[in-house]
Amino acid sequence: MLGFPTVTTTTARRVVDGNGSTVNFTTDFVFLDEDTLVVTLVDGTGVETLQTITTDYTVTGGNGNTGTVIMVTAPGATDTLVIQREEPYVQDTDLLTADPFNAITVENQFDKLCMQIQQLLDTLGRAILVDLTEEVGQANFTLPAPSAGEILVGKSDETGWENADPTTVIEVAENTITIPVVVAKGGTGNSDVPSMLKENYIVATGSAGAFVVATTPAASVLSAGQIVRWKANHSPTSQPTLNVDGLGAVNIVDAHGQLLPNGGIQSGGVYETTYDGTFWVLTGLSRPQVVRLSNVEVLTTTGTWTKPANFSHAEVEVVGPGGGSGGCATTGSIESVASGAGGGGEYGYGFFTDSDLGATVAVTVPAGGAGGAAGDNNGSDGAGATSFGTHVTAEPGGGGDGMPAGTAEFVATGGDGGTGGTGGDYHIAGGSGMPGFVTSDGGGGELVGQVSQGGHAGKGFGAGGQNQTEGTGAPGKLYGGGGGGSFLFVNESSVAGAAGARGVCIVKEYTFVDV
C-alpha cells in the first residue's frame, strides 16, 4: 500500500474569476479523490449553481497531490468559480490488536485529519465570531428564521436575537442592525428608523425657496459627499437654497453646476442632493420634469413683465420704434417735392435664465416718431429706446428731412436706422430711410420727384412705409418700420410726413412641466 504525500498546503478552497476562455483551474491544495471536490459556479448576480462531475467538469491529479479542474464550458467574465475540498468527516481505518505497526496507514489517516481540520478552519474563517472577551457559553448566536418585513435586533435582556417590526423600534439600540445613519458612511443622516424605512426621506420646512432640513443626529459640519434626500414642502418663488442642520443656506445647482431655477423644485417632490464642497447638487428627483415654451408675451405698451411660476428661462426680443418721414411744401407749376423717409428701429435679442431676472422687469415700449408737419418740416425720431429693464435695449430710427418748394434740384435726407442698443446677446441695426429727391426732366421743363421708402426694422421685423401715389407717405409697418416719404406733383398743397411704427418687446417664456 502506497502512502499519500505529506500535506504541505494550508488551504481547502480556491476562488477564481472567469474570463470566458479559461477552462483549466488548478486546485492549489491537495486532495485524495476527485469525488471529494465540490465545484460551484456563481454568476454575476450571486446565484450559485452546483456543478456535476463529468457533465460540467472533469478532474486530473489528486491522490494526495494538487490537481486540475477542467470545465466543459469556460466560466464567463462575470462568473466566479469556487473549488472546495470536502473530505468526509469519518474515520475508516481499523487498527487491529497485535497487528504489525503500519506507518503508511497511520500516515494516511493523519493526512485525512489534517485535511478535515483545514476544511473546518476555512468555514470558521467566514463565520461570525464573538469578541475575545466573551466567556464561552455566555453569548447565544442562534438566529431566528427570517421573517418578511422585520429586522434582526438584540433581545432586551441581551440573551440572544429576535425579529422585530421596524416601526416599533424607536430607539436605535447598540445591538440593532439598521440602515447606516452617518452620511459619510453612506447613510442618509436620519436615525429615525420608522420614517426612514417607510419613506426614506426627510420632510423639509421653510418658505420662499429657503428649504430647511434637520437630520438626527445633526451634522456638525458639511463635508463633500454628504447626501440628503428630502421632500419639498412648497414650490419656491426665488432661487432655492438648502440649509441642513443650521449649517447655512447653500444654493442648489443642477448636474452641470448651473444655479437651479425656482421652478426646479416642486411642492411634494422628493429630491436627492449631494454636497460637493460648495453647492448642493441635485442628483436625483422623484418628479421628472421637462422645460417647454409655455407662453409668448407681446408687449406693445410700456408696463411690467412678471415672471411666471416654475420659470426656467426666457428669450427676449426688442425692436426700437421707427422714425417719421419729413413733410412737403406746396408746389408750383413746374416743380415736384419728395421728403426723406424715416429710419427703421434696431433689433435686440437676449437669453436670460431664472437667476438673471428678478420677479418683475420694467418694460418700455415707445411710440413711433411723428411725421413732419405739412411743409418743409423734418420728421421726428422714434420716441426712445425699447427696453426690457437694463437686460436688453434697442434704439429708435431717426426722422427723415422735409423738402421745400423750389426750382433747383434737391435731396431730402432719410432718417438713420436705429443702432447702439445695449445688453442681450446681439443686435441688428435698423435700415436707413431712403432720401427724397427732385431733379430736372432734362429739357428745362418740370422738376421730377422720386418717392422714398421708410427703413425696415432690424431683422426685417417691420417694413418701412412706401407711398405708391402722390400725397402723404405710408406709415411704417409694425413693428419698428420707418415712415414712408411724402410726394407732391405740380400745383399741390403742402402735406405732412408719415409716422414711424411703434416698437415692441416679445418675451418667450419657458417653464418646468411635469411629465
DSSP 193-242: HHHHHHT-SEE-EEETTEEEE--BSPPSS--TT-EEEEE-SS--SS--EE
Residue range 42-50: mean pLDDT, rounded? 91
- Cell numbers representing residue 171 in the block: 430607539
Tell me what percent of the residues of the chain surpass a pLDDT of 70.
86
**Per-residue pLDDT at 383 exceeds 50:** yes
Nearest-angstrom CA–CA distance, 167 and 171 = 10
Q: Please return the burial class of 272, using the count of CB atoms within 10 Å of its CB with bins 0-12, 13-18 and 19+.
A: middle
- Which has the closest alpha carbon to 473: 503, 449, 439? 449
**Per-residue pLDDT at 183 exceeds 70:** no
Residue 288 has a pLDDT of 59
pLDDT band at residue 4 under the 50/70/90 scheme: low
Residue 415 has a pLDDT of 96
**Per-residue pLDDT at 440 exceeds 50:** yes
Q: Which helix (H) or strand (E) holds 162?
A: strand 161-164
Residue 446: other Cβ atoms inside 10 A? 18
Nearest-angstrom CA–CA distance, 359 and 35 = 80
Residue range 176-195: mean pLDDT, rounded? 42
Residue 441 has a pLDDT of 53
Q: Please return the burial class of 284, using the count of CB atoms within 10 Å of its CB with bins 0-12, 13-18 and 19+.
A: exposed
Residue range 192-214: mean pLDDT, rounded? 72
> Taking a C-beta distance cutoff of 8 angstroms, is the pair 412, 342 a contact?
no
> Taking a C-beta distance cutoff of 8 angstroms, is the pair 226, 219 a contact?
yes
> Taking a C-beta distance cutoff of 8 angstroms, is the pair 388, 305 a contact?
yes
Indicate the DSSP class of residue 105: H
pLDDT band at residue 2 under the 50/70/90 scheme: low
Spatial CB neighbours of 454, under 8 Å, sequence gap ≥ 6: 322, 323, 325, 341, 342, 343, 344, 400, 414, 433, 434, 463, 464, 465, 466, 473, 474, 476, 481, 482, 483, 484, 485, 498, 500
Nearest-angstrom CA–CA distance, 186 and 96 = 64
Residue 276 has a pLDDT of 92
Q: Which helix (H) or strand (E) holds 59?
A: strand 57-61
Residue 262 has a pLDDT of 59
Nearest-angstrom CA–CA distance, 30 and 87 = 11
Nearest-angstrom CA–CA distance, 430 and 395 = 9
- Which has the closest alpha carbon to 41: 61, 55, 62, 60? 55
Indicate the DSSP class of residue 60: E
> Taking a C-beta distance cutoff of 8 angstroms, is the pair 33, 53 a contact?
no
Indicate the DSSP class of residue 103: H
DSSP 380-412: PPPSS-EEETTTEEEPPPPPPPPB---SS-EEE
Nearest-angstrom CA–CA distance, 352 and 183 = 36
State the chain's mean pLDDT as an integer.
84
Nearest-angstrom CA–CA distance, 508 and 315 = 5
- Which has the closest alpha carbon to 265: 278, 252, 255, 276? 252
First to last CA, the chain: 80
Q: Worst-scoring range by mean pLDDT, 107-116, 248-257, 444-453, 487-496?
A: 444-453
> Which position has the higher pLDDT, 226 or 142?
226
pLDDT band at residue 199 under the 50/70/90 scheme: very low
CA atoms within 13 A on the CB side of 18: 21
Residue range 26-51: mean pLDDT, rounded? 92
The tens digit of pLDDT for each residue in 336-379 reads: 889 999 999 999 999 998 888 999 999 999 999 999 999 999 99
DSSP β-ladder status, 426-428 and 410-412: unpaired
Angle at 45 between CA 40 and CA 48, to 5 degrees: 20
